[in-house]
A = this chain, B = another copy of it.
Amino acid sequence: MPKVSEAHVEARKEQIVSAAFLCFARKGFHPTTMQDICAEAHLSPGAVYRYFAGKEDIIQSACGEAQAAEYVGLLEEALAEPDTSAMFSGLAAAFFSHFDDDGADVYNRTSLQLWAEMAVNERVRESFSSNPAAVRAGLDAVVREAQRRGDIDSGLESGAVASAIRPLRRLPAPEGDGPHDRHAGLRARGRGAARRHLVDRSALA
């Protein structure tokens, strides 16, 4: 009975995720093809699919690497800091500290892709939902604390910072397509009407 070492399997997985990670940083999740990943990993499709169920599975694994557990830890440490200045420093450190070596761009870029993907992909969002919650709470706490000390104008709404996280909320599905006057929205608008907002409230249900 032949059996391969479990460490070898784990190493292969990491080889694939590492390749995917680089591809995602270059092109983003969706424009990256499985062939891109296979080429970067110097593996064939058949080999890759031995270790991962599909592309989505690889994305999930890559995101797991991007969102290291220590990230949240750093953030919470910063929040515990009683000095406001140190708090800001800690916050910045939590955001950027693990981007400070040569792998910087790859991690930074893939994290950005993840952030955008979470807004749009329910399964990814669920997998990493704990992180934005911590970030949201952390930002809000820092701003409020700074306001209490008078370092920031109390007129600045603390929730404004937290609203950066807002896009992670879900958006309603497309309408069920009842009777619809196609030109209604058009007629309502004047010629050079100021259209500060492209999307009507009605479109949000």
Which A residues have a C-beta under 8 Å from some C-beta of B? 7-8, 11-12, 14-15, 17-18, 21-22, 25-28, 30-31, 36, 39-40, 42, 65, 85-86, 88-89, 92-93, 95-96, 98-99, 101-109, 111-113, 115-117, 119-121, 151-153, 155-157, 160-161, 163-164, 166-167, 169, 171, 173-174, 177, 180, 182, 185-186, 189, 191, 195-201, 203-204
Identify the 8 closest CB pairs spanning chains A and B, nearest first: A85-B153, A116-B116, A30-B30, A109-B167, A102-B201, A28-B120, A89-B156, A108-B167
Q: How many copies, total?
A: 2
For the residues of A in contact with B, the DSSP-based class is: helix
| CB-contact partner of A40 in B18, B40, B174, under 8 A | B174
B residues in contact with A116, CB < 8 Å: 28, 112-113, 115-117
In the complex, the answer to whether A108 meets B171 with C-beta atoms within 8 Å is no
B residues in contact with A15, CB < 8 Å: 185-186
Closest to A162 in B: B96
B residues in contact with A153, CB < 8 Å: 85-86, 88-89
